[in-house]
Amino acid sequence: MSSRTIRRGKTSAGNGPPASGTVLASILTLAVVLGATGACSSGGRPAPTAGSPPSPRATPTAPASSPAPRVLDEHARLTGVTVRTGSTVVVQLHSTYWSTPTTSDPDVLVPGAGGSSPAGSCPPGGGCGVSSARFTAARPGTARVTAHRSSCGEAMRCLPGQRAYEVTVTVTG
């Protein structure tokens, strides 16, 4: 046996092969650096050729009057929220056993897209997924958003406090 001892892939003299963790860390660092520089290089556009004008860059801007949507879920049940006219209210209930949320006053909260979206890796009868609806606050007033369910799982009836979802939405001008 040699006078040098081998520890974790390196020789005691420090000139042997690097440890496998060091190689993996180096590869990951290189991938991150290349990915970051590649993402910033040309924005997916071809480089301008000699004599051609550079292409204009689009700068995405959000309208100043459209605030982020107000997202409500099971934790907002039996509460009240206030939003301004023009705001978006999204209700997401985390089970496909819920009915699609509806509004009590479609003149105040205008219904948009909605429905159930089952999760891809759910066993049959599991109710995995989301029942959701999107509303636009159209004019000042008050509306109730409601949803119902009778089952809280496969062959599981809901207790009385688990059957109904209700949130009062007040829209201000």
CB atoms within 10 A of CB 123: 8
Q: Which two tokens stand for residue 47?
A: 């480089």
Q: What is the pLDDT of residues 113-141, one digit of tens each?
A: 999 888 888 887 788 999 999 999 999 99
Residue 65 lies in a domain: no
The residue that leads in pLDDT, 66 or 82, is: 82
Residue 134 lies in a domain: yes
Res 154: pLDDT: 80
Domain with 130, as residue range(s), is 70-172
Res 66: pLDDT: 65
Please state the domain count of the chain.
1
Residue 50 lies in a domain: no
Task: Confirm if 71 and 52 have CB atoms less than 8 A apart.
Answer: no
Residue 26 lies in a domain: no
22-38 in b/e form (b: 16+ CB < 10 A) is eeeeeeeeeeeeeeeee
Which amino acid type is present at position 122?
Answer: C
Confidence band, pLDDT 50/70/90 cuts, at residue 57 = very low
The closest of 19, 24, 1 to 9, measured between CA atoms, is: 19
Confidence band, pLDDT 50/70/90 cuts, at residue 32 = very low
Average pLDDT taken over every residue of the chain: 74
Confidence band, pLDDT 50/70/90 cuts, at residue 31 = very low
> What's 121's domain CATH number?
2.60.40.2020
Residue 168 lies in a domain: yes
Residue 54 lies in a domain: no
The closest of 132, 130, 108, 134 to 119, measured between CA atoms, is: 130
3-state class percentages of the chain: helix first, strand second, coil last, to nearest 5: 15, 35, 50
Task: Examine the pLDDT at 12 and tell me if it is beyond 80.
Answer: no
Q: Which two tokens stand for residue 55?
A: 């292409």
Residue 2 lies in a domain: no
Task: Examine the pLDDT at 82 and tell me if it is beyond 60.
Answer: yes
Residue 22 lies in a domain: no
Task: Examine the pLDDT at 27 and tell me if it is beyond 90.
Answer: no
User: Model-level pTM?
Assistant: 0.61
